[in-house]
Amino acid sequence: MELKRVVITGIGALTPIGNTKDEYWDNLSKGVSGAAPITRFDASKFRTKFACEVKNFDINDHLDRKEARKMDPNSQYGMVVGDEAIKDSGLDLDVIDKDRVGVIWGSGIGGLKTFQDEVVSYALGDGTPRFNPFFIPKMITDITPGWLSIKYGFRGPNYATVSACASSNHAINDAFTYIRLGKASVILTGGSEYGVVESAMGGFNALKALSERNDSPETASRPFDKDRDGFVLGDGAAALVLEDLDHALARGAKIYAEVLGGGMSADAYHITAPHPEGLGILKVMKDTLSDAGLKPEDIDYVNTHGTSTPLGDVGELKAIQAVFGEHAYKLNISSTKSMTGHLLGAAGAIEAVASLLTIERGIIPPTINHFTDDPEIDAKLNLTFNVAQKRDVNIVMSNTFGFGGHNTSLVFGKYKG
């Protein structure tokens, strides 16, 4: 069968460095760090006392108070970015065939704050089971696409993807696949995560996964730097409207870019550590290029997973060199997590937005906080350190990898008719 072409026509973003897609991009291109001491709870007894929180945000500015109380903040974030993306797309909700519109959403953990608060309340009580009647609906990961479908009346494919930090890239990949197979005309996709809560901070500290650079939070996320000491926890969300090209053209939609291909793989190695030879990462990038019908030299920029962990950063760059060969030295490569921190299940979604706006605006966002070269990293690679670089960008690859060995890649290209 002939596969349909898939384009992106709407974007929404809520991040630690901007509460709309344009605010996010403005600070991303300026190299602004979103890391700061935690304000959401008393972190004084935690080994890590800082994070990349969403700032200056009040859900009551976006949702009815009674409706918002039925949702975990994870879903609240999803509703906000979903609304921005739908409005940005210009979809006429009174005209489109809602049977052909779906929602596929990613989150690594879902309603963690709700789960934590309800269990703590029960544990501190007298043993009488007094649980919020919305406890289960607020907690379950799939409720966000459910809420979005209810709000807009979208009756097409509707579910959540859960693959740790690869979750929202899996969601976008699935949305792309459904549309190109003709099973939907439009899919609202992306991901959300409300990760800066006590249990997540404590859990990641126990894994020794987080940076403990409490004396300088804004420089703590330093991908590819010799002195990186772990990732910085963040939260937020992003949404994309993916659309059948013919459907988009018929309604005169603005097109940000085209989804050219995607790939998925497993390390089949360890629950938290990357494969030492990067086999899963090699496979997913090769499969993605093959799916898109592209050669390595067609790629201009790779938005890396780049979490600022000692093992992960080196492994990903070695895999990039193995896949791209000599062309690796002609690529721009960067990690936007140096600014946003790691949004867990929402990471792929906000990095997809960064990739799309890179294509649209011809600016490569930097990898900030580079101070010392790592002798294990090839110094000839252009890792876009500290300052954004102008470049005509036609095709971007965006990588995300998750605990459990889950790997996903996507390639986005400039729409050329």
Range of the domain at 128: 6-250
- Structure tokens of 214? 């409490």
Phi, psi of 328 (to 5 degrees): -55, -30
Claim to verify: residue 239 and residue 275 sit in the same structural domain: no
Claim to verify: residue 245 and residue 274 sit in the same structural domain: no
- The predicted-structure confidence for 139-174, as pLDDT tens digits, reads as follows 999 999 999 999 999 999 999 999 999 999 999 999
Claim to verify: residue 190 and residue 337 sit in the same structural domain: no
Eight-state DSSP code of residue 127: S
Residues ≥6 apart with Cβ < 8 Å to 323: 282, 285, 286, 289, 296
- The predicted-structure confidence for 389-416, as pLDDT tens digits, reads as follows 999 999 999 999 999 999 999 999 999 9
Residue 311 forms part of a structural domain: yes
Residue 128 forms part of a structural domain: yes
Claim to verify: residue 20 and residue 100 sit in the same structural domain: yes
Say what the pLDDT of residue 148 is.
Answer: 98
Claim to verify: residue 294 and residue 370 sit in the same structural domain: yes
Alpha-carbon distance of 242 to 264, in angstroms, equals: 19
- Structure tokens of 145? 């696409």
Q: Where are the alpha helices (DSSP H) in 164-261?
A: 167-180, 198-206, 245-250
pLDDT at 201 over 90: yes
Residues ≥6 apart with Cβ < 8 Å to 259: 6, 7, 8, 172, 176, 242, 410, 411, 412
Claim to verify: residue 331 and residue 214 sit in the same structural domain: no
Claim to verify: residue 274 and residue 337 sit in the same structural domain: yes
Residue 1 forms part of a structural domain: no
Claim to verify: residue 233 and residue 313 sit in the same structural domain: no
Residue 177 forms part of a structural domain: yes
Task: Specify the CATH number for the domain of residue 309.
Answer: 3.40.47.10
Residue 42 forms part of a structural domain: yes
- End-of-domain residue from the set 250, 274, 290: 250
Claim to verify: residue 68 and residue 112 sit in the same structural domain: yes
In contact, 372 and 233? CB cutoff 8 Å: no
- The predicted-structure confidence for 338-373, as pLDDT tens digits, reads as follows 999 999 999 999 999 999 999 999 999 999 999 999
pTM attached to this predicted model: 0.97
Say what the pLDDT of residue 278 is.
Answer: 84
Residues ≥6 apart with Cβ < 8 Å to 190: 12, 78, 81, 82, 85, 105, 106, 168, 171, 172, 237, 238, 239, 240, 346, 349, 352
In contact, 226 and 372? CB cutoff 8 Å: yes
- The predicted-structure confidence for 52-84, as pLDDT tens digits, reads as follows 999 999 999 999 999 999 999 999 999 999 999
Nearest 5°: CA angle at 315, between 163 and 53?
Answer: 50
Q: Residue written as tokens 């090209």? A: 245
pLDDT at 274 over 90: no
Count up the domains in the chain and report the number: 2
Lowest average pLDDT, out of 113-122, 144-153, 274-283, 305-314, goes to 274-283
As a whole number, mean pLDDT of residues 245-260 equals 98
Claim to verify: residue 18 and residue 99 sit in the same structural domain: yes
Alpha-carbon distance of 56 to 20, in angstroms, equals: 12
Say what the pLDDT of residue 95 is.
Answer: 96
- End-of-domain residue from the set 225, 250, 275: 250
% of the chain at pLDDT higher than 90 = 97
Residues identified as active-site: 165, 305, 342
- Structure tokens of 168? 């929202």
